[in-house]
Amino acid sequence: MTAVTQQQPLLEGRGVSKYFGGLAALSDVDFTVYPGEIMGLIGPNGSGKTTLFDCLSRVQDISKGQVFFKGEDITRKKPYQVAHLGLSRTFQIIRVYNKLTVIENLLLSQQWRNKGILKQLRPSGQQMEGRAKELTDFLLMSHVIKEKAGNLSGGQKRLLEIGMALMPDPDLILLDEATSGINPTLIETIKDRIRELNSKYNKTFLLIEHNIHFIGDLCDRVFVLDYGQKLAEGTPDEIMNNQAVIEAYFGADGDEGDDEYDE
């Protein structure tokens, strides 16, 4: 895990709230993510984790509060503007283009550098193709680079989606349940790739996870949502020993149950 110095946050939320009619999905959530950090976000089902990701990536409007990325207020920016600044994300439900090949999916995800889908898919962009091939090597997917995404396993699709998020070379990657439904071998691959991207390339991560062992092995800090409110924040050890977290997340008896279930 990376040691985090108390410098200017890469990402900061101040009183972030999201309302759906009279329902508060998020209520006055404050948080910071520092450069070079791997930050975990956990909480019970329906606690607002994916809604927070949607607000940060501007897929959903923020009802109240402010979000800053690299010191810039992005509260009212469009999703493509946030992407241009260097923030990428994956989704809880995998989003890839099933009828396109692996390399075409990667090239298509480089939208902010080229205009027009045909130009992005044109093989003359040697620099883009080179980066796409490097990513397939890095993600151990070079053997399926010309395979249509629809023919991949669920775990391979998840790796491809991570590759698509990495393709624009972002500063911050939001991973929404990157290990959900994936076999243990691929989980270890994802963990190793995140760790290498963080330590070798100084990539910053904010990740939603139900796999508590994954969070404990990988994250510098963790913050917890419950009923749309911030319940706790600390190191993985502090969070796992926090009585309020144990009662809200694991149940009053502290029984974890299945720590890899889906939301």
Q: Are residues 24 and 71 in the same domain?
A: yes
The confidence band for 111, taking pLDDT boundaries of 50, 70 and 90, is low
Residue 190 maps to a domain: no
DSSP-derived secondary structure for the chain: -PPPP--S-SEEEEEEEEEETTEEEEEEEEEEE-TT-EEEEE-STTSSHHHHHHHHTTSS--SEEEEEETTEE-TT--HHHHHHHTEEE--SS----TTSBHHHHHHHT-TTTSSSHHHHH-TT-HHHHHHHHHHHHHTT-GGGTTSBGGGS-HHHHHHHHHHHHHTT--SEEEEESTTTT--HHHHHHHHHHHHHHHHHH--EEEEE-S-HHHHHHH-SEEEEEETTEEEEEE-HHHHHT-HHHIIIII-TT-----TT---
Q: Are residues 119 and 82 in the same domain?
A: no
Q: Is the pLDDT of residue 251 over 80?
A: no
Q: Are residues 76 and 96 in the same domain?
A: no
Residue 184 maps to a domain: no
Residue pLDDT, tens place only, 38-62: 999 999 989 999 999 999 999 999 9
Q: Are residues 78 and 98 in the same domain?
A: no
Q: Is the pLDDT of residue 253 over 90?
A: no
Domain boundary among 113, 148, 170: 170
pLDDT value of position 247:
87
Q: Are residues 43 and 55 in the same domain?
A: yes
What is the pLDDT averaged over residues 244-251? Answer: 80
Q: Are residues 59 and 110 in the same domain?
A: no
CATH of the domain at 111: 3.40.50.300
Residue 198 maps to a domain: no
What is the pLDDT averaged over residues 55-81? Answer: 96
The confidence band for 252, taking pLDDT boundaries of 50, 70 and 90, is low
Q: Are residues 227 and 254 in the same domain?
A: yes
Q: Are residues 99 and 76 in the same domain?
A: no
What is the pLDDT averaged over residues 88-100? Answer: 94
Range of the domain at 138: 87-170
Domain boundary among 144, 170, 196: 170
Domains contained in the chain, number = 2
**Neighbouring residues of 66: CB distance < 8 A, sequence distance ≥ 6:** 13, 14, 15, 16, 73, 75
Q: Are residues 48 and 4 in the same domain?
A: yes
Q: How many CB atoms lie within 10 A of CB 184?
A: 9
Residue pLDDT, tens place only, 187-217: 999 999 999 999 999 999 999 998 888 999 9
Residue 21 maps to a domain: yes
Q: Are residues 132 and 160 in the same domain?
A: yes
Residue 245 maps to a domain: yes
Residue 3 maps to a domain: yes
Residue 40 maps to a domain: yes
Domain boundary among 112, 136, 170: 170
Q: What are phi and psi of 235, to 5 degrees?
A: -70, 165
Residue 211 maps to a domain: no
Q: Which two tokens stand for residue 235?
A: 């190191």
Q: Are residues 146 and 118 in the same domain?
A: yes
pLDDT value of position 7:
80
pLDDT value of position 250:
64
Across the beta sheet with 64-69, the strand order is 23-33, 11-20, 64-69, 72-73
Q: Are residues 81 and 109 in the same domain?
A: no
